[in-house]
């Protein structure tokens, strides 16, 4: 709820601080005292468009700060958390107007955009009869109000999931069809590319292996000469094998005399002799490889040329050829078997659509049922509000399929007529300011239990009515105040007498200027204000007695 409001340098208001109670708060005062200015100031803190004419003459800046007591589970915290603002005990919306044309905003002292300020403001306060296109005057809010009255939030969550599943299935089918169309346009090229790769059969890392083998064969002469020289060094009569063999034989003849001291030397020489024999065998094998196929070098060059030519055609590297072969072959196979695949995707899309439509139909039926009940309940509230000739109707129509969404296919709008024979139209178009406020009051009374926690502010709700009608307005405002904080600017003593809290707005003349101020009234002051509203400038004893009767005080 709105707990505190501070206004500085807004037109007639030099500095104003107000604390608000829960329930119904009434604001009264003579015409021109500054009641509309107070709402203009509050609107700034709620994200209304900046009007720099509101800056008090002779000052550089104006400011408004609105503090709210908000429960920890209020949805506004999720919005602010996404914007990087940490939840706290209070929520403070601030706005400035500066003569340099700037209008900075903040939430809990964190600079924010006016757009975010407005989003938060719409979640915290609903002002009826003051800001066109917000609250119930915004048709986009009508379906949400009807859904809350239906109480089918879980069904809406399921419908949203079904809608998303349908969109995913539609996207998959469209992508498959597009891929098939692309493949068919490229079919000749695709079949030729796969055929060439089938013949080529590229292997992973093949280019690297071929380059290594080509180097071997291209330098066969040098390698053979080196092998021959190494073989001579190892195997010649005076080579390493002969020398190591002699050393081994020499030590073996005296090993028994050394008491085991030569065992490690003998083992090392034996291993060396064995390794030399292995080296000789490996060199012999390498020599045979060099002499195995004299045409191998030509074959390697031809293979490398074929691989590189194919890679250039496909604009990829040689190493990517095996993967590309598999991918193109898969595309070709998919195209050849696409009818079955597309049929499966089409059935999945239709299945998702059927699920969505079944739930959307059920939700739509709920809305129509609740709309009928809502219309009857609102209609029952209209006669005491001097709207006995009016009719209230909730219009529901199905939109085109391309406009279906997460909330279904219904478009909801509250319509009304104020005179017999008049065609129904949008409620904000056919009703005057006072009528509209009373229509919205009736609707709010009916749906109060299902509405989110927001402060309601009514302006002109008692315009043009008095007596029993004004009393009916006050009774409904009081009833509404039991469910939510409720502020009303009123000229009606019957409405003013119903308030749990009474604030009076008055202006006074100083030597230099006119100042508007607001203060809370108690006891005798409140009797005097209601009596003034009853009798005018001269307060009579009869008016005081009537005021006491309205206030139910002795």
Could you report the per-residue pLDDT of 47-60, keeping only the tens digit for each? 999 999 999 988 99
Could you report the per-residue pLDDT of 1-24, keeping only the tens digit for each? 999 999 999 988 888 889 999 999
Q: CB neighbours of 304 closer than 8 A, spacing ≥ 6?
A: 207, 210, 211, 214
Whole-number Å distance between alpha carbons of 8 and 17: 9
317-326, 334-343, 345-354, 488-497: which has the minimum mean pLDDT? 334-343
Token readout for 463 is 């315009």
| pLDDT > 70 in the chain, percent | 93
438 pLDDT tier (thresholds 50, 70, 90): confident
554 pLDDT tier (thresholds 50, 70, 90): very low
CB 5 within 8 A of CB 17: yes
Domain spans of the chain?
A: 2-129+382-520, 183-338
Could you report the per-residue pLDDT of 311-341, keeping only the tens digit for each? 999 999 999 999 999 999 987 877 766 667 7
Whole-number Å distance between alpha carbons of 495 and 504: 14
306 pLDDT tier (thresholds 50, 70, 90): very high
Whole-number Å distance between alpha carbons of 151 and 179: 44
Could you report the per-residue pLDDT of 98-150, keeping only the tens digit for each? 999 999 999 999 999 999 999 999 889 987 754 454 566 778 889 998 999 99
pTM of the predicted protein model: 0.64
Q: CB neighbours of 507 closer than 8 A, spacing ≥ 6?
A: 12, 32, 33, 34, 514, 515, 516, 517
Helix (H) or strand (E) holding 480: helix 467-481
DSSP 62-117: EEEEEEEE--TT-HHHHHHHHTT----SEEEEEEEEETTS---EEETTEEE-HHHH
Smallest CA-to-CA distance from 332 within 223, 133, 184, 160 is with 184
Smallest CA-to-CA distance from 90 within 198, 3, 208 is with 3
Task: Indicate if the pLDDT at residue 512 is higher than 70.
Answer: no
What value does the mean pLDDT take over residues 238-248? 83
| pLDDT > 90 in the chain, percent | 45
Angle at 43 between CA 40 and CA 44, to 5 degrees: 95
Whole-number Å distance between alpha carbons of 112 and 167: 34
Beta-sheet strand order (sheet of 486-489): 125-128, 455-459, 486-489, 24-28, 501-509, 514-520
Q: Residue 515: its pLDDT value, please? A: 65
Q: Residue 273: its pLDDT value, please? A: 87
CB 163 within 8 A of CB 401: no
Whole-number Å distance between alpha carbons of 109 and 124: 18
Whole-number Å distance between alpha carbons of 431 and 129: 11
CB 136 within 8 A of CB 439: no
- Mean residue pLDDT across the chain: 87
Could you report the per-residue pLDDT of 138-171, keeping only the tens digit for each? 788 899 989 999 999 999 999 999 999 999 999 9
CB 349 within 8 A of CB 173: yes
Smallest CA-to-CA distance from 92 within 61, 120, 114, 115 is with 120
Q: Residue 94: its pLDDT value, please? A: 96
Q: Residue 130: its pLDDT value, please? A: 47
Beta pairing class for 391-398 and 125-128 = unpaired
Task: Indicate if the pLDDT at residue 495 is higher than 50.
Answer: yes
Could you report the per-residue pLDDT of 466-487, keeping only the tens digit for each? 788 888 989 999 988 888 899 9
Token readout for 290 is 């060099």
Q: CB neighbours of 404 closer than 8 A, spacing ≥ 6?
A: 163, 356, 360
Could you report the per-residue pLDDT of 365-395, keeping only the tens digit for each? 999 999 999 999 999 999 998 888 899 999 9
Ramachandran sector of residue 44 (left: φ over 0; alpha: ψ -120 to 50; beta: rest) = alpha
Beta pairing class for 13-19 and 24-28 = unpaired
Smallest CA-to-CA distance from 290 within 206, 355, 225 is with 225
What value does the mean pLDDT take over residues 258-273? 86
Task: Indicate if the pLDDT at residue 302 is higher than 50.
Answer: yes
Q: Residue 135: its pLDDT value, please? A: 63
* Strand-pair partners of 16: 7
Token readout for 272 is 């060396």
Higher pLDDT, 166 or 265: 166
Q: Residue 514: its pLDDT value, please? A: 58
Q: Residue 308: its pLDDT value, please? A: 93
Q: Residue 40: its pLDDT value, please? A: 87
The CATH number of 2-129+382-520, from 3.40.190.10, 3.40.50.300, 3.30.1330.60, 3.30.500.10, is 3.40.50.300
Higher pLDDT, 452 or 314: 314
Higher pLDDT, 212 or 407: 407
- Find tokens 């279904």 and name the residue: 408
Whole-number Å distance between alpha carbons of 64 and 5: 7
224-238, 258-272, 280-294: which has the minimum mean pLDDT? 280-294
Q: Residue 176: its pLDDT value, please? A: 86
57-66, 249-258, 269-278, 431-440: which has the minimum mean pLDDT? 431-440
């Amino acid at each position: 709820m709105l707990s505190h409001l501070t206004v500085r340098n807004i037109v007639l208001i030099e500095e104003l601080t107000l604390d608000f109670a829960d329930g119904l708060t009434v604001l009264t005062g003579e015409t021109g005292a500054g009641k509309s200015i107070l709402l203009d100031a509050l609107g700034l803190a709620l994200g209304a468009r900046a009007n720099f004419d509101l800056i008090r003459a002779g000052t550089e800046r104006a400011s408004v700060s609105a503090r709210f007591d908000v429960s920890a589970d209020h949805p506004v915290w999720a919005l602010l958390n996404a914007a990087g603002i940490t939840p706290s005990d209070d929520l403070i919306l601030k706005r400035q107007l500066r003569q340099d044309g700037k209008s900075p905003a903040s939430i809990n002292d964190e600079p924010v955009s006016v757009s975010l300020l407005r989003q938060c403001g719409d979640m915290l306060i609903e002002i009826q009869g003051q800001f066109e296109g917000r609250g119930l005057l915004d048709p986009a809010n009508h379906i949400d109000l009807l859904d809350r009255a239906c109480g089918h939030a879980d069904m809406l969550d399921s419908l949203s999931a079904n809608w998303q599943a349908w969109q995913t299935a539609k996207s998959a089918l469209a992508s498959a069809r597009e891929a098939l169309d692309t493949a068919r346009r490229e079919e000749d090229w695709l079949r030729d590319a796969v055929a060439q790769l089938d013949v080529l059969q590229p292997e992973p890392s093949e280019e690297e292996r071929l380059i290594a083998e080509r180097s071997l064969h291209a330098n066969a002469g040098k390698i053979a000469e080196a092998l021959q020289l190494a073989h001579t060094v190892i195997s010649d009569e005076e080579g390493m094998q002969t020398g190591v063999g002699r050393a081994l034989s020499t030590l073996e003849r005296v090993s028994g005399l050394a008491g085991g001291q030569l065992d490690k030397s003998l083992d090392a020489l034996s291993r060396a002799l064995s390794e030399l024999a292995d080296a000789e065998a490996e060199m012999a094998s390498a020599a045979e490889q060099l002499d195995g196929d004299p045409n191998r070098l030509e074959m390697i060059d031809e293979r490398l040329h074929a691989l590189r030519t194919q890679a250039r055609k496909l604009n990829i590297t040689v190493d990517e050829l095996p993967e590309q072969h598999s991918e193109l072959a898969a595309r070709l196979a998919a195209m050849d078997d696409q009818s079955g695949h597309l049929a499966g995707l089409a059935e999945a899309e239709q299945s998702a659509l059927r699920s969505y439509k079944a739930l959307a139909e059920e939700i739509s039926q709920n809305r129509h049922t609740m709309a009928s009940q809502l219309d009857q309940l609102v209609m029952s509230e209209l006669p005491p509000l001097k709207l006995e000739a009016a009719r209230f109707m909730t219009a529901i129509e199905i939109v085109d399929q391309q406009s279906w969404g997460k909330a279904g296919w219904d478009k909801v709008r509250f319509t009304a007529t104020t005179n017999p024979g008049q065609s129904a139209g949008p409620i904000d178009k056919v009703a005057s300011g006072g009528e509209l406020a009373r229509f919205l009051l009736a609707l709010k009374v009916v749906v109060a239990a299902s509405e989110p926690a927001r402060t309601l502010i009514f302006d002109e709700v008692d315009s043009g009515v008095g007596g029993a009608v004004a009393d009916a307005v006050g009774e409904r405002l009081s009833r509404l105040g039991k469910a939510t904080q409720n502020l009303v600017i009123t000229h009606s003593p019957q409405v003013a007498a119903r308030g749990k809290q009474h604030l009076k707005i008055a202006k006074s003349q100083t030597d230099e200027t006119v100042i508007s101020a607001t203060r809370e009234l108690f006891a005798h002051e409140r009797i005097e204000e209601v009596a003034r509203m009853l009798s005018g400038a001269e307060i009579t004893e009869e008016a005081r007695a009537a005021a006491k009767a309205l206030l139910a005080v002795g």
